Chains A and B, each alone.
Chain A
Amino acid sequence: MSKFAHIAVAMVLGAGLAPAAAFATGGADATLAVAGEKLYKTACVACHSSGVANAPKVGNKQVWAPLIARGMDSMMEIAIKGKGAMPPRGASSADDATLRAAVEYMARSSQ
């Protein structure tokens, strides 16, 4: 699957098109967007797919709207420091950039 994703990314870049991700800010972030989605599907999904311990469920527009409205910095602060049952970095070993991409993926999927 990831092989195909890389091919897709290469084609997009080759064609000189900007990545379509609404939250992505830079052109080189397509690979990162893939890493973000992968991180979500590896770890974050444990709580955010079903809403464990009141985690904002991915896809639930209502609960995500106020979080998205507060902006990326606010969401990243929670992602890095943790909040309530949410552990720092979502209990992952991901770096800030990948974490940010995962948050972007979750927010994008919940709009």
Chain B
Amino acid sequence: MAAPALAKGKPAATDKFLSEPEIAKLKRIKVDLVAPPMVHKHEQVVTGAPRIVEFRMEIVEKKMVIDDKGTTLQAMTFNGSLPGPTMVVNAGDYVELTLVNLASNAMPHNVDFHGATGALGGAKLTNVNPGEQVTLRFKADRAGTFVYHCAPEGMVPWHVVAGMSGTLMVLPRGGLKDPVGNPLRYDTAYTIGEFDLYIPKDADGKYKDYKTLAESYTDTMEVMRTLLPSHVVFNGKVGALTGEGALKAKVGETVLFIHSQANRDTRPHLIGGHGDWVWETGKFDNPPERDLETWFIRGGSAGAALYTFKQPGVYAYLNHNLIEAFEFGAAGHVVVEGKWNDDLMKQVKAPGPTTA
């Protein structure tokens, strides 16, 4: 049996350290982020020296409608979206993020990258008040999908469940590989952020609407302490990834589904499909598992699944606690074009009256 080649060897973190003059000589590239579920253009395989990849994110506090009944969330966001945009670099590159806290915001914020080393993930070095900005650099020396989130001392869970999380994807320089080292490539990457929301209700059982972010604090904390979310949504809203917002693919296309959950466990599943190759703990230097029906994302992590579509139709991508999916909102669609394959599945006889 072939050994899982990628599981061998020292952790990436023991690579040699560069001095500041050496880092200054590295090539810089600037990346414009795009809104989820899309992921900005990137290379899956790179050669040559590490680069410094510059990103800029604005923190935006705003009231958002989170379901079709008009329920509102006093949300806190990176770049105005839930989740924040996905950032992609290659292992060994440096991430250089400028974080802007808009003057129109009310709260102090920061950012903790699970893909970074030291200073509480960068949180200690990125505290910004409204009207301030800060720039942080860190070496992305471990491959994988990693959560990033806001973590202001004293109010961490509130900022996270109000929307402040996203994914940093650090691809191995040689690209993704299966357990025996064969290359794995994708045609499209989609990023899905799952959010457990805790919207307070009034005495009549109706969801409360707040004039300001601060005024939602105490009631929201009370609901959070029950550990019972009122909504569980993909990308900020019940139905965000259905209808107009549905993900798209073609038969034969390989899609990478990145799934982040910064606070609470989830169990993604593609109805009618599978996870061909899945890193459910999200770290690419470990061998992926194949043929998974349902995988598991730990609260506080991001995972990734590859799937090559073989049949056309509308698929559902959801959290397979089906109550969380269909009652609370954690479900989306993938609309796939192409030719039906009778060998994989055929309706031999359509439904009709029972016969003796």
The residues of A with any CB-CB pair to B shorter than 8 Å are: 41-47, 50-53, 84-85, 87, 90-93
Contact = CB atoms under 8 A, between A and B. Distances in A.
Given A53-B129, A91-B107, A91-B212, A43 B218 contact: yes
B152 interface: yes
Contact of A93 (B153, B155, B212, B218): B212
Residues of A contacting B: mostly: helix
A52 B155 contact: yes
Nearest to A44: B214
Interface residues of B, number: 20
Nearest to A48: B154
A46 B214 contact: yes
Nearest to A55: B154
A45 B211 CA distance: 17
A107 B170 CA distance: 49
8 contacts: A53-B153, A84-B129, A85-B107, A85-B129, A91-B106, A92-B212, A93-B211, A93-B212
Contact of B215 (A50, A84, A92): A92
A87 B130 contact: yes
Interface string B66-110: 000000000000000000000000000000000000000111100
B212 A52 contact: no
B214 A90 contact: yes
Contacts of A92: 212, 214-215
A92 B107 CA distance: 12
Nearest to B220: A46
Nearest to A88: B106
Contacts of B105: 87
B291 interface: no
A95 to B, nearest CB: 12
B215 A52 contact: no
Nearest to A90: B214
B201 to A, nearest CB: 16
B158 interface: yes
A24 B275 CA distance: 65
A87 B214 contact: yes
Contact of B218 (A42, A50, A52): A42
Contacts of B217: 42-43, 45-46
A46 B108 contact: no
Contacts of B213: 91
Contacts of A91: 106-107, 212-215
Contact of A52 (B106, B130, B152, B219): B152
Contacts of B165: none
A84 B108 CA distance: 9
B191 interface: no
B146 to A, nearest CB: 25
Nearest to A49: B154
Interface in B115-154: 127, 129-130, 152-154
Interface string B149-182: 0001111001000000000000000000000000
A46 B158 contact: yes
Contacts of B130: 85, 87
